[in-house]
Amino acid sequence: MTIDIQISQGHEPPLDAADAYIVIDVIRAFTTTQIAFDNGAARVLLAGEVDEAFALKRAHPDAILAGERDAIKIDGFDLGNSPAACATIDFAGRTMILTTTNGVRATLHALKSAAPQGAPVLVTGFSNALASARFVRELQAQGRVTQKMRVHLVASHPTGTEDMACAEFIRAQILGEAGPDTAQVTERIRKSDAAQKFLDPERPAFDARDIDFCAAMGPEKFAMLAQPHPTGPRIIARALDA
């Protein structure tokens, strides 16, 4: 069986029917999400708008409210969209509520496209890229798709080279073809326009450690699945086959 992989860019690109979707936000939404799961989070609830995030917080008062607009922590939130800050928190079965400029919006769009065929929607940063590629390969091995498997990768930053570098890496990993290696993707992440404000010592509002998290490859422990739910869309961690 062959695999056909398309790459699109932006919050709401046209998405054809597919057997799996992968939404990429390296700096920083899905790096932050991966760290939250590493630290014991049970789920991540997605909010497209700030007022929706506050409403979710009222419904889940013990949840940790995280997010940003223009890369800055939102007033009244517990956290910004910072993997470095997230790494200091023991989530221990708690819920995180997340709203971001790029990744969350692109994920909500992908969920709408995936709904008619019930296709899985994964989210990932570079830190979880190998696990995301492995999930798709495992899906293929299960034989649920009998002919050509269609996978759509969404680089959520409308102009970001870091998300495109990650998409190209994941495509190569799924297909078993030559593509950018880990060192090349790391370099492209660090040199991306999105990273520069974090690496500028004259802009203390941005934490340079975030880019260290975003540019580092993590272990293949779990894939992150975005799912519709009666109370709102959410992300869960799905362990990979042993």
- For 142-186, write each residue's pLDDT tens digit: 876 657 899 999 999 999 999 999 999 999 999 999 999 999 999
CATH assignment of the domain containing 137: 3.90.1560.10
Strand order in the sheet with 43-46: 3-9, 149-155, 20-24, 121-124, 222-227, 234-239, 43-46, 95-99, 64-69, 72-73
Q: Which domain holds residue 42?
A: 3-239
Query: Per the structure, how many domains does the chain have?
Result: 1
The closest of 50, 195, 227 to 126, measured between CA atoms, is 195
73 by Cβ neighbours in 10 Å (0-12 / 13-18 / 19+) ranks as middle
Residue where the block lists tokens 């517990």: 78
Q: Determine the pLDDT at residue 173.
A: 97
Q: What is the pTM of this model?
A: 0.96
pLDDT at 146: 59
Instruction: Please report the pLDDT score of residue 144 as a whole number.
Output: 64
Mean pLDDT calculated for residue range 81-95: 97
pLDDT in tens, 92-121: 999 999 999 999 999 999 999 999 989 999
Are 66 and 76 a contacting pair, CB within 8 Å?
no
